[in-house]
Structure 1
Amino acid sequence: MSLAMSNITRRFGQTEVLRGIDLDVAKGELIALLGPSGSGKTTLLRIIAGLDWPDAGNLSFEGQDWLLKTAAQRKIGMVFQHYALFPHMTVRENIAFGLTVLPRAQRPGKAQIAETVQRLLTFLQISQLADRYPSELSGGQRQRVALGRAMAIEPRVLLLDEPFGALDAQVRRDLRRWLRSVHDSAGITTIFVTHDQEEAFELADRVVVMNGGVIEQIGRPDQIYDHPATPFVARFLGLTVELPVVMKAGRAEAAGFDLTALPRRALPEGPATLFLRPADIQPVADPAAPFHLTEISSTGALLRVVAESDSGCRIEAEVPRRDGHGLETGMNVSLCAVAGQIFPGLASQRASSPVAAETTPHALKENRL
Structure 2
Amino acid sequence: MSIEIAGLTKRFDRTDVLRGIDLSVEPGELLALLGPSGSGKTTLLKIIAGLEWPDAGRLRVEGQDWLALAARERRIGFVFQHYALFPHMTVRDNIGFGLSVLPRGQRPTRAQIAARADELMAFLQIDHLADRFPGQLSGGQRQRVALGRALAIKPRVLLLDEPFGALDAAIRRDLRRWLRGVHEATGSTTIFVTHDQEEAFELADRVVVMGEGRIEQIGHADAIHDAPATPFVARFMGATVQLPVTVMGGRAQGPGLDLSALPQVALRDGPAQLFARPADLRVAPDADGPWRVQTLASTGAELRLTVAHPGGAEAEIQMPRRGAPTLSRGAPVTLAVQAATIFADAPIEKETAR
The answer to whether the Cα contact below 8 Å between 2:284 and 2:335 also exists between their aligned partners in 1 is yes
Structure 2 unpaired stretches of 5+: 350-354
Show the counterpart of 1:127. 127
Alpha carbons of structure 1 residues 186 and 321: separation in structure 2 relative to 1, 3 Å: farther
- After TM superposition, the structure 1 = structure 2 runs for residues 188-203 of structure 1, keeping only pairs within 5 Å, are 188-203=188-203
Deviations 1:154-178 (A, max 9, x none): 1011011111111122222221222
Show the counterpart of 1:237. 237
The answer to whether the Cα contact below 8 Å between 2:91 and 2:129 also exists between their aligned partners in 1 is yes
The answer to whether the Cα contact below 8 Å between 2:291 and 2:308 also exists between their aligned partners in 1 is yes
- The answer on 1:96 being equivalent to 2:96 is yes
Report the alpha carbon displacement of residue 323 of structure 1 after superposing the two structures with TM: 3.5
Amino acid at match of 2:299: T
The answer to whether the Cα contact below 8 Å between 1:205 and 1:221 also exists between their aligned partners in 2 is no
Report the alpha carbon displacement of residue 233 of structure 1 after superposing the two structures with TM: 1.0
- After TM superposition, the structure 1 = structure 2 runs for residues 35-46 of structure 1, keeping only pairs within 5 Å, are 35-46=35-46
Amino acid at match of 1:71: A
CA distance in 2, matches of 1:299, 1:181: 37
Judge which range, 86-95 or 171-180, deviates more.
Answer: 171-180
Show the counterpart of 1:204. 204
Amino acid at match of 2:335: L
Show the counterpart of 1:139. 139
Report the 3-state secondary structure (helix = DSSP H, G, I; strand = E; otherwise coil) of the residue aligned with 1:120. Answer: helix
The answer to whether the Cα contact below 8 Å between 1:257 and 1:335 also exists between their aligned partners in 2 is yes
The answer to whether the Cα contact below 8 Å between 1:30 and 1:190 also exists between their aligned partners in 2 is yes
CA distance in 2, matches of 1:214, 1:312: 32
The answer to whether the Cα contact below 8 Å between 1:204 and 1:221 also exists between their aligned partners in 2 is no
Amino acid at match of 2:19: R
Report the alpha carbon displacement of residue 184 of structure 1 after superposing the two structures with TM: 1.7
The answer to whether the Cα contact below 8 Å between 1:292 and 1:330 also exists between their aligned partners in 2 is yes
TM-score (norm 1): 0.91
Report the 3-state secondary structure (helix = DSSP H, G, I; strand = E; otherwise coil) of the residue aligned with 1:224. Answer: helix
Report the alpha carbon displacement of residue 265 of structure 1 after superposing the two structures with TM: 0.6
CA distance in 1, matches of 2:113, 2:100: 8
CA distance in 2, matches of 1:300, 1:3: 49
CA distance in 2, matches of 1:280, 1:45: 35
CA distance in 2, matches of 1:242, 1:348: 7
The answer to whether the Cα contact below 8 Å between 1:231 and 1:347 also exists between their aligned partners in 2 is no
The answer to whether the Cα contact below 8 Å between 2:285 and 2:325 also exists between their aligned partners in 1 is no
The answer to whether the Cα contact below 8 Å between 2:231 and 2:346 also exists between their aligned partners in 1 is no
Amino acid at match of 2:326: G
Report the alpha carbon displacement of residue 325 of structure 1 after superposing the two structures with TM: 5.7
CA distance in 1, matches of 2:346, 2:325: 36
- The answer on 1:5 being equivalent to 2:5 is yes
- The answer on 1:333 being equivalent to 2:333 is yes
Q: Percent identity?
A: 63
Show the counterpart of 2:152. 152
TM-score (norm 2): 0.94
CA distance in 2, matches of 1:346, 1:110: 62
CA distance in 2, matches of 1:236, 1:198: 13
The answer to whether the Cα contact below 8 Å between 2:242 and 2:348 also exists between their aligned partners in 1 is no
Report the alpha carbon displacement of residue 290 of structure 1 after superposing the two structures with TM: 1.9
Show the counterpart of 2:352. none
Judge which range, 118-127 or 72-81, deviates more.
Answer: 118-127
Report the 3-state secondary structure (helix = DSSP H, G, I; strand = E; otherwise coil) of the residue aligned with 1:223. Answer: helix
Report the alpha carbon displacement of residue 298 of structure 1 after superposing the two structures with TM: 1.8
Alpha carbons of structure 1 residues 189 and 323: separation in structure 2 relative to 1, 3 Å: farther
CA distance in 2, matches of 1:249, 1:16: 40
The answer to whether the Cα contact below 8 Å between 1:17 and 1:213 also exists between their aligned partners in 2 is yes
Report the alpha carbon displacement of residue 38 of structure 1 after superposing the two structures with TM: 1.5
Report the alpha carbon displacement of residue 212 of structure 1 after superposing the two structures with TM: 1.5
- After TM superposition, the structure 1 = structure 2 runs for residues 109-124 of structure 1, keeping only pairs within 5 Å, are 109-124=109-124
Report the alpha carbon displacement of residue 231 of structure 1 after superposing the two structures with TM: 0.9
The answer to whether the Cα contact below 8 Å between 1:302 and 1:318 also exists between their aligned partners in 2 is yes
- The answer on 1:308 being equivalent to 2:275 is no
CA distance in 2, matches of 1:204, 1:274: 29
The answer to whether the Cα contact below 8 Å between 1:246 and 1:271 also exists between their aligned partners in 2 is yes
- The answer on 1:247 being equivalent to 2:250 is no
Structure 1 unpaired stretches of 5+: 350-369
Report the alpha carbon displacement of residue 347 of structure 1 after superposing the two structures with TM: 2.7
Amino acid at match of 2:132: R
CA distance in 1, matches of 2:162, 2:296: 37
> What is the count of residue pairs matched by the alignment?
349
Report the 3-state secondary structure (helix = DSSP H, G, I; strand = E; otherwise coil) of the residue aligned with 1:323. Answer: coil
- After TM superposition, the structure 1 = structure 2 runs for residues 23-38 of structure 1, keeping only pairs within 5 Å, are 23-38=23-38
Alpha carbons of structure 1 residues 329 and 46: separation in structure 2 relative to 1, 3 Å: same
